[in-house]
Amino acid sequence: MRTPIIAGNWKLNKTIHEAVALIASLRCMVDGVSNVEIVVAPVFTALATSAEALAGGNIRLAAQDVFWEDNGAFTGEVSPRMLKDVGCDYVIIGHSERRQYFGETNENVNCKVKASHAHGLIPIICTGESLEQREAGRTEAVVKDHLLNGIAGLSAAQIISTVIAYEPVWAIGTGRNATPDQAQEVHALIRSLISDIYSDDVALKVRIQYGGSVKPDNAGALLAQPDVDGALVGTASWDAESFAQIIKAADNAF
């Protein structure tokens, strides 16, 4: 049985003060939820204070990116060791916005994933096709490319403690989510690709999140799909009420 995981990607939003306020509201709303892993990913500058605000509760902390070296002359970067030090358990890697605006490659993603595992951080690896790629019938090829290059070299134990996110780029921030069938089709593909490399047994343990315009009113149907093990939520996670509703939908679905 895979524990569902709902993660909120705050992107470039929330000052320290705003992060603390959002966490305080959210904690009250999801206090009793014990069957869902809940994660929030504030900006780097709010991580330390967010860790304090989350202490003793059922919500875990993620960063939105990481670099692969431990330390050194890499101006502007933050290492996995530093993320562990500040209290992160998870890190989002290879989000489409990083691939699109910051030139992130599959090779970068793989270095970040390996470095995160080396420091006990759970990577959430993002995959997903653009609209153009979907319309050209390339969804499977693109997701396969993101996935296989992103997880290259991981042991079975490491892949089991890796979260894969399927986030079609055309669904991110657009209000146009993938249908439950579209999501299920790609999630099943991801699981079968993992099974081909490792085994059925390993693939059945890996959690695959859907992301892209997940809202309170569509979360239940998406999460009801057999291979959808959670959600990576952007916009709807910036508001405590809507994020809490998605978390409760997950709590009911599993």
Nearer Cβ to ligand PGA, position 9 or 245? 9
Instruction: Say if residues 165 and 209 touch (Cβ distance below 8 Å).
Output: yes
* CB within 8 Å of 247: residues ≥ 6 apart: 6, 30, 33, 36, 38
Stretch of 34-42, 44-52, 115-123, 208-216 lying at the interface with ligand PGA (CB under 6 A): 208-216
* CB within 8 Å of 108: residues ≥ 6 apart: 68, 94
Binding flag, residue 128, ligand PGA (CB under 6 A): no
Q: Which of 234, 244, 247, 253 binds ligand PGA (CB under 6 A)?
A: 234
Q: Which of 80, 94, 123, 212 binds ligand PGA (CB under 6 A)?
A: 212
167 carries an active-site annotation: yes
- Chain residue at closest Cβ approach to ligand PGA: 234
Binding flag, residue 39, ligand PGA (CB under 6 A): no
Between CA 229 and CA 10, with CA 232 as vertex, the angle to 5 degrees is 155
Sign of CA dihedral 153, 155, 158, 160: positive
Instruction: From 253, 189, 176, 190, select the one nearest 219 (Cα to Cα).
Output: 253
Binding flag, residue 233, ligand PGA (CB under 6 A): yes
Nearer Cβ to ligand PGA, position 62 or 154? 62
Query: Per-residue x/- mask for ligand PGA, residues 80 to 119, rule CB under 6 A?
Result: ----------------------------------------
97 carries an active-site annotation: no
Number of alpha helices (DSSP H) and beta strands (DSSP E) in the chain: 12, 8
CB of 150 to ligand PGA, least distance (A): 16
Binding flag, residue 173, ligand PGA (CB under 6 A): yes
Three-class DSSP category at 14: coil
> With CB under 6 A, what is the number of residues at the site for ligand PGA?
13
Catalytic site residue from 37, 97, 104, 167? 167
Instruction: From 250, 252, 237, 238, select the one nearest 209 (Cα to Cα).
Output: 250
Instruction: From 3, 237, 20, 211, select the one nearest 122 (Cα to Cα).
Output: 3
Interface with ligand PGA by CB under 6 A: which residues? 9, 167, 172-173, 211-214, 232-236
Just list the catalytic residues.
95, 167
